[in-house]
Each structure stands twice: as structure tokens, then as C-alpha cells.
Chain A
Amino acid sequence: MQLHDLFIAPFAEFAFMRRALVGSLALAIAGPPLGVFLILRRMALTGDAMAHAILPGAALGYLAAGLSLGPMTIGGLAAGLIVAVGSGVVARTTILREDASLAAFYLISLALGVTIVSLRGSNIDLLHVLFGSVLALDDATLILLAAIASVTLIALAALYRPLVLETIDAGFLASVSRSGGVVQIMFLVLVVLNLVGGFQALGTLLAVGMMMLPAASARLITDDMTLMIAAASVLGMLAGYAGLIVSFHAGLPSGPLIILVAGLIYLLALIFGPAGGLLRRLKPGRHLEA
């Protein structure tokens, strides 16, 4: 009875809690697997950069239509894609590496975003865009989140082999196929798609947390690529659920709580993670002795 009150009753009683849960689960299904690839490609900060890059598009949408889902999503998507594709093309055609070209593009994009926002007198609404509201997900937003999760999963399945190859040995992929550039750009498109979905629920800043923290935890738990992707998703869902529960009982804001739980999981993985956690590193090779 008491466990029911603690863990199930909030969702049974309130539709907004169920919606928040569904939204977080949708985000956790698709975001963390992308995070795993970002981490393995040493692009962990790319998510953060892309989140900032989305701002001018979302701001333009907001300027045109106010706080409404469609224009802001399309705008954010467009801005993110321009930056993703633009920096990818620059990285492959000029002397600049991917990190440098991405940094350049996202900084320009961010500056543009803040400038566009300032055209509108009132700054209050936009703060809600930046910080999101997982407790206020309506039908349209939930459908969008679910659609993004589905598209991402299907695309990841289709891209899986070349993406893993490109991640682990880009030189080899280049020697057998010309798909490397396309794979890279399609992957970034998926990242942007998920960040745009995430900013409806968690805000542009925290959306990245849902993508990266479960992925980093999963990396510490296993060396197996397939397991890592599954673990990242499961940990993301766990963070979403636990964050909402804590927010409900403790009376703390929900979005940050979800990311904090993900952060807590990360700290635990950092210490106890069987694949390169701190304890493992302090006692290396013990499993070989017996």
C-alpha cells in the first residue's frame, strides 16, 4: 500500500504526471543511444553546441507565432540542421576539424538567436522555452516526442553498421565505401531532431543532459556496444521516472530533478562501473588472477 502511494499513485491519480512520464520515456528511448555514439566519437560536447545552435530558429518561430509548438519546432530544426550540415561540410572540405567548425557555426547561431530574441520586447516567455516544462506537455507535444523517438530508432537501425564502422574506424569505412560523409550528417540530423524534441519538455539546456548523462553512465558499465546502447536507454528512462517521483514527493522542479537523477546515476557508475569505473581502475586485472 505504501509502496503503491510512493511509486504508482502519482501517475495513477494525475494525467499530467502520466504525460510527463510518457514524454520522458520517449526522450530516453532515442536520446541516450545517440549520446553513446557521440561519446564514442569523442563528440560529447557536440550535443551542447547543437542545443545552442537551435536557439535562433526557435526564436524566429517564436517571433512569428508566439509560444507555439509547430513554428518553434520547425525553426529549431532548420537552424540545427544548417549548423550540423554546414559544420560537417566545412570539416570535410577545409583544413578546419569538426570541433572547430562546429564551434564557429554554433557561436554565430547563438549570437543570432539572442539578437532575434531581443527584437521582441518581453523576454519572459522565452525563458520558458530555454528551460522547458515537462509538466505541461499537451497532446501535440507528446505526439511530436513519440514521432521523433520512432524516427530515430528506425534510422539508427538502418544506419547501424556504417555508423558503428565510422565511429570505430573511419579510415576503414572510407576505404570500402563512400557513405562516411552521409552517415555522419544523417547522424547529426538525428541529434538535432532529438534536441528539438527535448527542448519542448526539458528546455534547450537540460535536453542535452538527457542525451549525454545516461550514455556516459552506460559507457562505464559495459564495453559491449549493443549492451551500452540498451543500458543508456534504460538508465535514461529510470532517470525520467525517478526524477518525476522525487519532484512529486519533495516539491522540487521536475526538469532539473530528472537530470539530477541522471547525474546521480552517472556518479554511481563512475565509482562502481565495471567497465572502467574508479573501483575497477584501482584494482585492475583481479578477474584474471583466479
Chain B
Amino acid sequence: MARLRYVITLVLACADAASGWPAQAQAPEKLPVVATFSILADFAHNVGGERIEVTALVGPDGDTHVYQPKPADAKELGAARLILANGLGLEGWIDRLIKASGAKAPVIVTTKGISPQQMREEGRIGPDPHAWQSIANAKIYVANIRDALITVDPGGVSVYRANANNYLGKLDVLEKDVTAEIAKIPPGRRQIITTHDAFGYFGTAYGFRFIAPEGVSTETEASARDVAKIIRQIKAQNIPAVFLENVTDPRLVRSIAAESGAKIGGTLYSDALSSPDGPAGSYIEMMRNNIWELSAALAQ
């Protein structure tokens, strides 16, 4: 089973890589930067602007937890001047991939300075990698990326500073809006079920409880016992809504909602952005989409 999954992912990955080729052949004078997934790439794009060319190893709607490296990624990494990773155990594959690709660029862990929360994964307690779900943390990401870009490309220092300040300003506005939206939701209703346990930081920052029917990794399959527990919990605690996500099985959530009487919310984006023309094409759009969906389902 696992093997077939691997083979399929590989094949898909190769097809992906082939289609992505021509676009990257142009604009050689830009600083090549590789980010491990779409949200980091969005931060980098906002700070680097026109001076850099960002590639995300795991693109929109991809699942960073179960990503399988592909040959083109090694090539990308080999050519990169800067590699941005999330750390906190999100990209278990990155060290091997960097070794295999012979990349010489510095690898910057963009969560440096963020105090990690703990989460339970398959019975073990470990750091929760989804730190970007708190906007305060997003600002730390941005600062780290700005400093890394300045170190690698000192000539662009003024551009990077200006871009970063501009973007940090946008994040301030976003944070105010999010807090204001949440204030409208009665505190007793600020709890929901999602398919993917990725909102720990969001929950702490904005006073939400997110309960997940699956563990942190999207690779684990839900058992009948897990589903039963969740349904009991929804009924016992009067949880008003269940949310789908862009990376796990929507049918399971529909089945839970149908049985427990909870409302089905829209799609929350957690680990990956949507395609650029989707509802969560950038980090800011993602956070706005999520908070809008939450208040639509929970406000009375």
C-alpha cells in the first residue's frame, strides 16, 4: 500500500516537474531562492520582490507532510543561493534532500525565535510545526527571511528592508482585523472540529479550540474508534461546526457532521496555499479566508 502510494506520488511529482520547466528558464539575474512550501514562498516573495526568484518545493494544495522529493527539486536546490525551511519537524525530508542535491546555499530555519508549542503526534509529544497560523509568528518569519536575504545579497538591503516593513504593516492590519472578527463570536462557540490538527498556534493566539479527528500527520488513517470519539465529543460539548480542509478526506468530515448534527463549515487552509486565483492564493488571503469561514459558521 505504502509502496504504491510512493510510486504514484513519484510519478505525479515527475509530471509536475516537467510542466514547471520552461517558466524558470528566464530571468537568470534574479537571486534564486528555494522555499520548502507555498506559505514560506509567499513570505519570501513579499520581502524579496523583484530581486529574487522564489520556488516552492511543495506547491499550492500540496501536502508537506507526505511530500516525496523529485529529481527536479535537487536541481533547484543545487542552483539556489538561499534555502528557506520551516523547521520544527515539518520537513522531515529536507536534510537528506539537501545532502543528495549537493546544495551549498545556507539553509535558514525561518521559525528561529518563535517559541514552539507542543503537540501530540501518534502518542508522542513533539513540537508543532504550524507556527505560521499565528500572525505574530508570521512577523517573525518575515523578519528572519529579511535578515537572511540581506546576508546573502547585501546589495539589496534597502529594497529588502522597505519591502519587509511594508509587508509587516499589512500583517499588522491583518492581525487587527482578525482580532476584531473573533471578538464578534461568542466565547462559548469558539470551538470547531477540523480534519487536520494544524491550528494549534491559531487557537492559542486567538482563543479558539480546534479538535481534530486525525493526528498531526495526514498520513495516518482514521480508525473507527477515533471517529466515534469525535462524535461523542461533539455531542457532549455542543461543538457547533465541523470544517473541511484542503488536504484531507472531505467524505469523513461529512459523515461526522451528518451523524452529530454539527454544521459543516467551508474550507480552512492550513498547510498550503490554494492556487493563486483560489480563495487562499497568498498568506494574507489565507488568513482572511479562514477567519471569514470561521465567523460565518460560528457567529449567531
Contact = CB atoms under 8 A, between A and B. Distances in A.
Interface of A: 10, 13-17, 19-20, 67, 114-115, 117-119, 121-128, 130-131, 133, 135-138, 205, 244, 247-256
29 contacts: A16-B224, A16-B227, A16-B256, A20-B224, A114-B8, A114-B11, A117-B12, A118-B14, A119-B15, A121-B16, A121-B59, A121-B61, A121-B275, A122-B61, A124-B63, A124-B248, A127-B5, A130-B4, A130-B5, A130-B8, A131-B5, A131-B221, A135-B224, A135-B227, A135-B252, A136-B251, A205-B1, A247-B223, A256-B1
Interface string B219-254: 001111111100100000000000000011111101
Given A14-B259, A127-B5, A118 B224 contact: no
B289 interface: no
A154 to B, nearest CB: 29
Contact of B228 (A10, A119, A122, A133): A10
Given A114-B11, A130-B8, A138-B254, A248 B228 contact: yes
Interface string B1-44: 10011001101101110000000000000000000000000000
B4 A254 contact: no
B78 interface: no
Contacts of A205: 1, 4
Nearest to B218: A124
Given A19-B255, A118-B15, A124-B248, 5 more contacts: A14-B231, A121-B16, A123-B8, A124-B61, A250-B225
Please give me the 7 A-B residue pairs with the lowest Cβ-Cβ distance, nearest first: A118-B15, A136-B251, A253-B221, A251-B225, A248-B224, A122-B61, A136-B255
Interface in B242-279: 247-252, 254-256, 258-259, 275
Nearest to B274: A122
Q: Which of A10, A118, A123, A244 has the most CB of B within 10 A?
A: A123
Contact of A137 (B222, B224, B255): B255
A259 to B, nearest CB: 10
Interface of B: 1, 4-5, 8-9, 11-12, 14-16, 59-63, 218, 221-228, 231, 247-252, 254-256, 258-259, 275
B247 A124 contact: yes
Contacts of B63: 124
B12 A136 contact: no
A138 B251 contact: yes
A67 B251 contact: yes
A177 B138 CA distance: 76
Contacts, number: 107
Nearest to B220: A253
Nearest to B18: A118
Contacts of B62: 121-122, 124
B251 A128 contact: yes
A66 to B, nearest CB: 9
A133 B252 contact: yes
Contact of B252 (A131, A136, A252): A136
Contacts of A119: 15
Contacts of B15: 115, 118-119
A215 to B, nearest CB: 21
B249 A136 contact: yes
A119 B60 CA distance: 15
B12 A10 contact: no
A130 B1 CA distance: 9
A118 B19 CA distance: 11
A10 B248 CA distance: 25
A138 B259 CA distance: 11
A10 B60 CA distance: 39
A247 B11 contact: no
B254 A253 contact: no
B39 to A, nearest CB: 16
Contacts of A137: 255
B97 to A, nearest CB: 18
B250 A67 contact: yes
Contact of A16 (B59, B60, B218, B259): B259
A133 B227 contact: no
A119 B15 CA distance: 8
